[in-house]
Homo-oligomer: A and B are copies of this chain.
Amino acid sequence: MRVVFSEHAGSLQPSAAGKILDTAADPNIISLAAGNPAPEALPADDVARIIAEEFQRDPIGVLQYSVPQGYLPLRAAVQEMLAARSGINRPEDDCIILSGAQQGGDLVARLLCNPGDVVLCEEPSFLGCLDAFRAAGARLIGIPVEQDGIDIQRLEEVLSGTQRIRFLYTIPNFQNPTGITMSLEKRQRLYELAVRYNIVILEDNPYGDLRFHGEDVPPIKSLDTTGHVLYMGSFSKILAPGLRVGYLVADREIIARLTTLKSACDVHTAILAQHICHRFITGRDMNAHLAALAALYRHKCELMLGEMDRLFDRRVSYTRPDGGLFLWCTLPEGLDGNLFAQRAAQAGVLVVPGSGFLTDTNQLSSCFRLNYSTPTDENIIRGIQILGELTRSL
């Protein structure tokens, strides 16, 4: 059989990160390449108890078809949580439950973009959503990330000089892959620019609840009075990624169209998983739960940074995140992150090379991403020791 694949969705390439992760099953390999919650952060006993109770309370409801927009009690609980914790409470907004926040990237790109339309994103940015935008046929334009977030001056140049921009994708808190947080001032400027140029902001905040240093910065969505901001959150990092539950809050018309499209994509998100998320966020002290997660990741991040400070060659620079799961290393200029990642893998440590997070993955990057949430303390220590030796041999 000869099959002709479609130009965009049919021509997506497996990501470099994916190829590296394929080898992560080897137990002798130390993976600093994942983005998983720590195993000890997964509240298995609580979830098992909630499931048993929900099967008692509503045995048909947890197994039968449900509605595309999502389980109503969960939608209400998410909107209450966002209003109370983050000041997100625009009256014209509504909420849709997603099969993980990744689905939001896919649905929003398809809702807003015809092939050839432009999506702006931070450079580097989360490769999963970049792939979703590529699958929709979008043309990606990257805006560099500075120490306090997206380069606003460059953004304004691109906005004023580019046709067919449909939306801007940003991860303002503990960005993936850099770990950088956007300042409040830049969030305000970004929102003003979105209104002035009439483009949508897709604000992705999967890590915002995992802050372990400093004070929360208000989400861009909390500044939104015009409906330009689509806000995505996830239960993957605060509860469990295997459930595949996320959500998107936006203007009612956007939510209605996303719901119609989602209905054609997967009918609705697995309903038992939605019941679990609802019971979890309404039934327990979330502040205490999040404080425990923050303490765990603070410890792991500080352990990794302390070892890096001790063992990495001085010519290697890296970010010091205030939360989230990742930090971002930059090799001395001219060195290739792909080559470094290959040599690290040969030495038994997986890292994700920086080029995978670029809008053009064929470009060279002197960077690589490290994750501290997944490995054990012992593997953080051993992994950084091996990487440190590599940096000193450059």
A residues in contact (CB < 8 Å) with B: 1-7, 9-10, 12-15, 18, 34-37, 39, 42, 44-45, 47-48, 51-52, 55, 59-66, 99-100, 102-103, 105-106, 110-115, 117, 128, 131-132, 134-136, 166, 195, 198, 200, 226-228, 236, 240-244, 251, 253-254, 256-257, 260-261, 263-273
Contact = CB atoms under 8 A, between A and B. Distances in A.
A63 B114 CA distance: 36
A243 B65 CA distance: 9
B132 A264 contact: yes
B257 A271 contact: no
A9 B261 contact: yes
B64 A112 contact: no
Given A48-B59, A226-B1, A100 B266 contact: yes
Contact of A39 (B60, B105, B115, B131): B60
Contact of A111 (B10, B113, B195, B244): B10
* Residue of A6, A103, A111, A260 with most partner-chain B CB within 10 A: A6
A42 B18 contact: no
Given A6-B112, A34-B65, 17 more contacts: A4-B166, A5-B111, A6-B117, A6-B136, A10-B111, A10-B112, A10-B261, A15-B263, A44-B55, A66-B242, A100-B266, A102-B264, A106-B266, A241-B267, A242-B272, A244-B271, A265-B265
B48 A60 contact: no
Given A10-B111, A37-B64, A132 B265 contact: yes
B55 A42 contact: no
Q: Top 6 A-B pairs ranked by shortest CB distance?
A: A44-B59, A9-B110, A63-B240, A242-B271, A131-B264, A48-B55
Nearest to A102: B267
Given A100-B266, A131-B264, A265-B103, A44 B60 contact: yes
